[in-house]
Chains A and B, each alone.
Chain A
Amino acid sequence: MELLWIPVTASLLAVASSLLGSFLLLRRMALLGDAVSHAVLPGIVLAYLWSGVRELPVMLLGAGVSALVAVFLLQVLQHRFGWHADAALAAVLASFFAVGILLLSAFGGKVDLDVECVLYGELAYVPLDMVTVGPLMVPRAALWALLLVGIAAVVLLVAWKELVVSTFDPEFAEVSGMTPKLWQAVLLGMTAMAAVVGFVLVGAILVVALLTVPAATARLLTARLLRMVGIAVLVSISSTVAGYVAASNLGGAVAGWMVLAATLQFIAAVVWSWLRRCFRPGPSVGVGTTLQRESAGPVLRATGSARGQFRGG
């Protein structure tokens, strides 16, 4: 019975990540999530060394500071020093991760974090750390994941219009007084939080899988934003459950199996969308395809009705 908390906790994390990941993907910031999830490592280790306790709030604080520094550095490198985005991302990611591993190896004796935790998290140990909430024994990590989902859901509900408009048309959002930079910062902050909770549960590197793969799968299957977010959530839940089942039957890391399950769904989505485009009559096959491929970005129909649907439904 307690083992059931593993897929439940993972699903909560995956739902939060896919909510955020959908917007990151549409803003072409998927790799930024990758960089942030690597960059939290030195902050986590330093916070742990400084405080000496392994509590999530402390780690969250350290990771938040570290992620902020990384994002600031990315902006400075790109806009002040003229680096291209890929070089800036790769450089920041590698340096921060190197510093984190360096600290881990240098103070390994004092830190209760190990290298395997960095790689694939401690999802299997979730039921070992329970707290009592009313009549129920709940894992501490599940509470944090639930909080993450709650924050993500509230932000999406409150600022759906602002997020949508600033994703698809930042200039229009700017002149309409929707402060797109603020919402971008909020999105990045929530990504950093997801990276921290994900770091503990599935490891630093597989966070990017939860952020990217369900959102990309959903993007291939639909051209409507609300449906895309819904499909991403479904894909992430199904892949955590399938990953848990596979891991408990075959052995191996739960986090890795979850990513594999998500990848299989992604491959199916690629094949499905490709076949649908091949067999659809009309100008999308043949001459038109090259034109469409150039505009392969977000061609979603994101109108005011999305908000109405969201509120009404």
Chain B
Amino acid sequence: MIEWELFLQGPLFAVFLGNALIAVGGAVVGTFAVLRREGMLADVLAHAVVPGIGFAYLLSAQKELPVLALGAFLTALAAAGAVEVLRRMARLSEDSRLGVVLAASFGLGIVLLTLLQSRQEADQVGLWRFLFGQAAAVRVEDLPLIVAVTALSLLFVAIAFKELVAMAFDAEFLRTLPLPLQWVEVGYRVAVVAITVVGVQSVGALLIVGLFVLPPMAARLWVRRVPGMLVGSIAVALGAVVVGLGLSWNLPYVATGPVIVTAAAGMVLLSHLFAPHHGVLARVWGYGMRWLRRWDEHAHKLLYYGIERSGGECWEGPILRPEYRGGRAGAVLVLVWLWLRGSIRWEGRRRWRVTRLGHKRACQIVRRHRLWELYLERFFGVPADRVHLEAELVEHVLSPEIEERLQELLQRPEHDPHGRPIPPRQNG
């Protein structure tokens, strides 16, 4: 067990704080990247960080984070510029532009790093760690840069929030307004690149796109508006960091960065399972409830046929049998269901009595069915022998208001097209 105060002052807290800040920055900027459909562009920029680190080390022979970060920052911006230049100069589709820039910058990075490695330098200064990250090795000295970059990015998003949202959803409209948009655009790109650059030492250049894309896609399922999505993706990102660090502190030999990204992916999965409205379970629940309601209404229809046949509210024996095609077990199931719903009462051996509530429910569904049959016959001229199947579908979705309108439209009818009575609405 870790002592709380020791944790707050010790290197583990620096690790947690550094990763948490990077994840939060990635989640906030990534929300806009996802909304602008630029998820893969973020991946390209992350790969373009690699040659920058090689160049910076080659030119300065220093392994301090700010120096390497500057080099990485410049090449990532250059890659963003290259995508833009290709958009103007070459007639290629967006995906091939991105693919070429990604491949080219990563190839350059590999050449530089392997050249440094052959001089036995890269291993010493640990340049490889920027590819897969060393989330568990964020040091206290690295914190100022991480804090500064994340704070500036969040500040920028807070200031330019309205413009960023508008740009993500309706850039055409925004262009008609007299606003300093190019600065917002530049600021957004710089924020993406800056978070990427400081993030590579957490989860690495190859996986940082996971921190950009996964938290917003998990949060999107729980909320409907952009501020909520921001808050949600920050929460998901923090959760992923906590889970990732917790797992990797307890399991030896597990790289922390991949665990964080896998945890974020797991949260996307969980969100898709459990989110309200859009989650798989919510949908299955909805289907199930709708199915159950139909089944319940069919059971009450059978109950009504029983009432109609016996002419009263009390009958003996398995009276559902002739109407119901589900066999004896099915009939028993229907009876048990009706009893559980409180629609019928058991009065000793083989005697059933319909309760007032059950009678009301049974009349309601049959009334809707027969009203719709009559409506189809009168207003659409559908022959009486073909209205039944249509009404089977509609009886479940007619609301009480529409039912009342139908009553008025058909002038409170007494009988359906088959000559059977339409049960009137009972009050109370």
Do residues B103 and A102 form an inter-chain contact, with CB atoms below 8 A? no
* Minimal beta-carbon separation of A134 from chain B (angstroms): 36
CA distance A81 to B280 in the complex (A): 10
Contacts of A25 in B (CB 8 A): 93, 96
Chain B residues numbered 23-57 whose CB sits less than 8 Å from any CB in chain A: 34, 37-43, 47
Return the CB mask of A81-105 against B: 1 if under 8 Å, else 0: 1011111011101110111011001
Answer whether residue B304 sits at the interface, using C-beta atoms and an 8 A cutoff: no
Do residues A256 and B98 form an inter-chain contact, with CB atoms below 8 A? no
Answer whether residue A49 sits at the interface, using C-beta atoms and an 8 A cutoff: no
Chain B residues numbered 105-131 whose CB sits less than 8 Å from any CB in chain A: 106-112, 114-115, 118, 128, 131
Contacts of A257 in B (CB 8 A): 107, 111
A277 closest partner in B (C-beta): B91
Answer whether residue B371 sits at the interface, using C-beta atoms and an 8 A cutoff: no
Answer whether residue B366 sits at the interface, using C-beta atoms and an 8 A cutoff: no
* Minimal beta-carbon separation of B191 from chain A (angstroms): 18
Do residues B110 and A95 form an inter-chain contact, with CB atoms below 8 A? no
Answer whether residue B79 sits at the interface, using C-beta atoms and an 8 A cutoff: no
Do residues B40 and A90 form an inter-chain contact, with CB atoms below 8 A? yes
Do residues B114 and A216 form an inter-chain contact, with CB atoms below 8 A? no
Option from A83, A274, A292 in Cβ contact (under 8 Å) with B217: A83
Contacts of B209 in A (CB 8 A): 90, 93-94
* Minimal beta-carbon separation of B120 from chain A (angstroms): 12
Do residues B39 and A89 form an inter-chain contact, with CB atoms below 8 A? yes
- Say whether, besides A91-B265, A270-B90, A216 and B99 are in contact (CB < 8 Å): yes
Interface of A is mostly: helix
CA distance A109 to B252 in the complex (A): 12
Return the CB mask of A261-301 against B: 1 if under 8 Å, else 0: 01100100011011000000000000000001100110000
CA distance A91 to B98 in the complex (A): 16
- Say whether, besides A87-B37, A94-B213, A256-B108, A33 and B259 are in contact (CB < 8 Å): no
Q: Among B37, B86, B90, find the residue whose CB has the most chain A CB atoms closer than 10 A.
A: B90
Chain A residues numbered 34-59 whose CB sits less than 8 Å from any CB in chain B: 34
Do residues A81 and B272 form an inter-chain contact, with CB atoms below 8 A? yes
Answer whether residue B401 sits at the interface, using C-beta atoms and an 8 A cutoff: no
Answer whether residue A259 sits at the interface, using C-beta atoms and an 8 A cutoff: yes
B85 closest partner in A (C-beta): A270
CA distance A108 to B254 in the complex (A): 9
Answer whether residue B132 sits at the interface, using C-beta atoms and an 8 A cutoff: yes
Interface of B is mostly: helix
Do residues A33 and B40 form an inter-chain contact, with CB atoms below 8 A? no
Do residues A213 and B95 form an inter-chain contact, with CB atoms below 8 A? no
Q: Please, how many residues of chain B have a CB less than 8 angstroms from a CB on the other chain?
A: 60
- Say whether, besides A102-B259, A255-B110, A256-B110, A90 and B100 are in contact (CB < 8 Å): no
Contacts of B96 in A (CB 8 A): 25, 28, 30, 212, 215-216, 219
Contacts of B111 in A (CB 8 A): 252-253, 256-257, 260
Answer whether residue B365 sits at the interface, using C-beta atoms and an 8 A cutoff: no
Contacts of B106 in A (CB 8 A): 205-206, 209, 259
Chain B residues numbered 65-105 whose CB sits less than 8 Å from any CB in chain A: 86, 89-96, 98-100, 102-104
Answer whether residue B18 sits at the interface, using C-beta atoms and an 8 A cutoff: no
The number of inter-chain residue pairs (CB within 8 angstroms) is 204
Do residues B40 and A213 form an inter-chain contact, with CB atoms below 8 A? no
Answer whether residue B302 sits at the interface, using C-beta atoms and an 8 A cutoff: no
Contacts of A215 in B (CB 8 A): 96
Return the CB mask of A119-143 against B: 1 if under 8 Å, else 0: 1100000000000000000000000
* Minimal beta-carbon separation of A105 from chain B (angstroms): 4
CA distance A143 to B39 in the complex (A): 38
B86 closest partner in A (C-beta): A270
Answer whether residue A70 sits at the interface, using C-beta atoms and an 8 A cutoff: no
Contacts of A93 in B (CB 8 A): 43, 209
Contacts of A97 in B (CB 8 A): 206-207
Q: Among A30, A94, A205, A271, find the residue whose CB has the most chain B CB atoms closer than 10 A.
A: A94
Answer whether residue B210 sits at the interface, using C-beta atoms and an 8 A cutoff: yes
Contacts of A173 in B (CB 8 A): none
Answer whether residue B258 sits at the interface, using C-beta atoms and an 8 A cutoff: yes
* Minimal beta-carbon separation of A300 from chain B (angstroms): 12
Option from B86, B95, B114, B212 in Cβ contact (under 8 Å) with A252: B114
B87 closest partner in A (C-beta): A293
Return the CB mask of B168-197 against A: 1 if under 8 Å, else 0: 000000000000000000000000000000
Answer whether residue B4 sits at the interface, using C-beta atoms and an 8 A cutoff: no
Chain A residues numbered 101-116 whose CB sits less than 8 Å from any CB in chain B: 101-102, 105-106, 108-109, 115-116
Answer whether residue B307 sits at the interface, using C-beta atoms and an 8 A cutoff: no
CA distance A294 to B212 in the complex (A): 29
Do residues A87 and B217 form an inter-chain contact, with CB atoms below 8 A? yes
Contacts of A98 in B (CB 8 A): 207, 210, 257-259, 261-262, 265
A95 closest partner in B (C-beta): B265
B278 closest partner in A (C-beta): A81
Answer whether residue B379 sits at the interface, using C-beta atoms and an 8 A cutoff: no
Do residues B132 and A209 form an inter-chain contact, with CB atoms below 8 A? no
* Minimal beta-carbon separation of A90 from chain B (angstroms): 4
Do residues A250 and B115 form an inter-chain contact, with CB atoms below 8 A? yes
* Minimal beta-carbon separation of A257 from chain B (angstroms): 6
Return the CB mask of B244-261 against A: 1 if under 8 Å, else 0: 000000010111011101
Answer whether residue A220 sits at the interface, using C-beta atoms and an 8 A cutoff: yes
Contacts of B41 in A (CB 8 A): 86
Q: List 24 A-B contacts (CB under 8 A).
A: A28-B93, A30-B93, A30-B95, A31-B95, A33-B99, A81-B278, A89-B39, A90-B209, A90-B213, A91-B265, A95-B214, A95-B262, A98-B258, A99-B262, A105-B254, A106-B251, A203-B110, A208-B103, A209-B104, A216-B100, A259-B106, A259-B108, A259-B110, A270-B90
* Seed contacts A30-B93, A252-B111; 8 additional CB < 8 Å A-B pairs: A86-B38, A87-B213, A90-B212, A98-B261, A116-B128, A213-B103, A257-B111, A292-B91
The 4 nearest A-B residue pairs measured at CB: A259-B107, A94-B210, A209-B103, A256-B110
